[in-house]
Amino acid sequence: MPNIIENMDLLPAKNIKWSVERNEQLLLTTPEHRGPVKFWEDYPPLDIVHFSPIYKPSKFSPPKSVYEGPTLRLEWQDMNFRQPFFHRNADVDEISFQIAGERTLMTEMGVAEIRPGDFSRIPVAVAHDSFGRNSIHLLFYVQASAEEFGTPRIHGEYRIPPFEGWENKVGVEMFTHCLGSPECDIAVSLADEEMTLSKAKDGDEKLRIITHSEENGITEWMYKTKKIWIGSTKLDENSPQSFTRRLAAEEIQYQVEGERELTTQRGKMLLKAGDFVSIPLGCAHKSTTTGNSHHITILTTEEAPRIADVTRSAT
């Protein structure tokens, strides 16, 4: 087995990296305990969570929590309906990534049509609502405020009606805290929908819808806070084969498209579209693929434990 390179970094710190040459077989071998003293832990294989990336008709259900920590909550949601209320976050920016289907995102910063591959960010306090059609998307609630990168594909626009068949009404507006959790509402009221959406008519700050560029082999960081980075990673058969070890952050990955073999010090797994995996701080890992692969990368300096049920484990 040839030697490989391992890159260690302190992300989300900046420009602090260390690279070493490794024998891959030795790196992936856990030594046996010898003698009367146990000097290291026996680490279990990594767990994988799976939600289908293909929309299937179902009854209304709230978003499903996948991982949740003190500064990050990650949800998966399918939607073939309009959300039953406008929502404001008191403490977080709400970031989304569209997996499948279409969604009209209605906010005080404008209305935008969301398609697969789109990221959006709704800043703290901004009212918003969604109308999904066979839609599946991820929701990232991160402590405000997040710095945004990338060139927008489109901007939100003032639009009345926001979608065909819409009629103005007085509806519910809910304010929540503790990472946007529905169990954490702090205020609820009625609001005129057209008045809410009309704020975008003269507002200077518009909704930005961003996407990954066409460049492969790197992680393109879309959003950054002091404790959380969210990026998009596209790989192909020519992508670097080096290992990565995060020294200050847990890394959560979601497989968007294609298949990818993830090799780690805590097991190997074939990731397919719809798979989530969390790689602990300090665990070396690398990805290989024979075709095109796309996954979301989330770094969090504070642990975000798994909430969803395990689908399978690494071998």
pLDDT tens digits, 155-205: 999 999 999 999 999 999 999 999 988 789 999 999 999 999 999 998 889
Residues 218 and 162 in one domain: no
Residues 220 and 193 in one domain: no
In this predicted model, what pLDDT tens digit does every residue of 218-260 receive, in sequence order?
Answer: 899 999 999 999 999 999 999 988 999 999 999 999 999 999 9
Residues 204 and 89 in one domain: yes
Tell me if 122 sits within 8 A of 107, measured CB to CB.
yes
Last residue in a domain, options 178, 210, 242:
210
Number of domains observed in the structure of the chain: 2
Could you give the percent of the chain with pLDDT greater than 90? 84
Please indicate, yes or no, if residue 83 is contained in any of the structural domains: yes
d(CA 170, CA 193): 6
Q: What is the pTM of this model?
A: 0.95
Please indicate, yes or no, if residue 8 is contained in any of the structural domains: no
| Confidence band, pLDDT 50/70/90 cuts, at residue 2 | confident
| Confidence band, pLDDT 50/70/90 cuts, at residue 22 | very high
| Confidence band, pLDDT 50/70/90 cuts, at residue 262 | very high
Query: Quick check: helix, strand or coil at residue 81?
Result: coil
pLDDT value at 96 more than 80: yes
What pLDDT does residue 278 have?
A: 98
Please indicate, yes or no, if residue 24 is contained in any of the structural domains: no
Please indicate, yes or no, if residue 2 is contained in any of the structural domains: no
d(CA 310, CA 14): 33
Please indicate, yes or no, if residue 57 is contained in any of the structural domains: no
The whole domain housing 239 covers 213-313
